[in-house]
Structure 1
Amino acid sequence: MYQFRKEERLCSKKFLDKLFNNGSSFLVYPFRVVHLREPLPVHYPAQVVIVVPKRRFKRAHDRNLIKRRIREAYRLHKESSLYPFLSEHHIQLLLSLQYVGKEIVDYKVINKKLLAVFGQLAKIYVEDAGKGS
């Protein structure tokens, strides 16, 4: 249940290009989120890529620490906060979580902000569904 499988990671160059060229974005500091509705070849409702820029964090161990914390928060909350909403509305999503903060923050902050990201995504797609009706 609380797993983060290979099929949930966005690795396809084709999908990455499509996401960054055609996707919409918003900011929930310290995350910049790029999202795009797209039919996926896997049975998971979302594929995600986590980005921490080398320009801002020169040391690999700092980037890895941040990515580890983001992956853990995503892994724990996707089943309760993201997937039920996406499945209910039949949405398949490409998602990029880009860390734009200038310092390394605690896991608690990342956890709280990732839940805010999921709430913002739900709000966006509920509004889209309302416009389509």
Structure 2
Amino acid sequence: MYTFTKEERLCNKKLIDELFHNGSSFLCYPFKASWLVVSQPQKFPAQILFSVSKKRFKRAVDRNLIKRRMREGYRLNKQLSLYASLTAAEKQIVLSIGYIGKEIASYEFIEKKMLKLLTQLNTEMTK
């Protein structure tokens, strides 16, 4: 249940390109989320991409730490906050979450904000 497999990661260049050109986005500090409803069938209701700015965090260890914390926060909360509503609505989405904070946040803060972002995403999709 609380897994994060290869199929859940967004790797398709065409989908990523389409996401950033045609997708909707919103801010939920310290994250910026972009999402797009897709028509082609996928194994999972959502495919996701995490990114941290190289301009803001010069050292790769810092970027990797933030991405690790983001992935963990998502992995633990996706089932209840996102997948349940997506499967009920029979929708499939691609999602990108970029970290726009200025400093490295604690895991507790990141997890709390990730939960807020996922609930905000649900309300955005039902509009």
Asked if these proteins are the same fold (TM beyond 0.5), I'd say yes
- For 1:26, the equivalent position in structure 2 comes to 26
Point out where structure 2 has 5 or more consecutive residues left out of the alignment. Answer: none
Percent identical pairs in the alignment equals 54
- For 1:121, the equivalent position in structure 2 comes to 121
Q: TM-score, normalised by structure 1?
A: 0.93
Letter in 2 for 1:108: E
- For 1:67, the equivalent position in structure 2 comes to 67
Q: Distance in 2 between matches of 1:66 and 1:77?
A: 17
Q: Distance in 2 between matches of 1:89 and 1:34?
A: 19
Q: Distance in 2 between matches of 1:93 and 1:78?
A: 13
Q: How many residues align?
A: 127
1:19-78 CA-to-partner distances (Å, cap 9, x unmatched) read: 001011100000000000012442200000000010000000000000000000111111
Post-superposition offset of 1:91: 1.2
- For 1:17, the equivalent position in structure 2 comes to 17
- For 2:97, the equivalent position in structure 1 comes to 97
Q: TM-score, normalised by structure 2?
A: 0.97
After TM superposition, where is structure 1 displaced by more than 6 Å over at least 4 residues in a row?
none
Q: Distance in 1 between matches of 2:40 and 2:53?
A: 26
Letter in 2 for 1:97: I
Task: Quote the RMSD (CA, aligned, Å).
Answer: 0.8
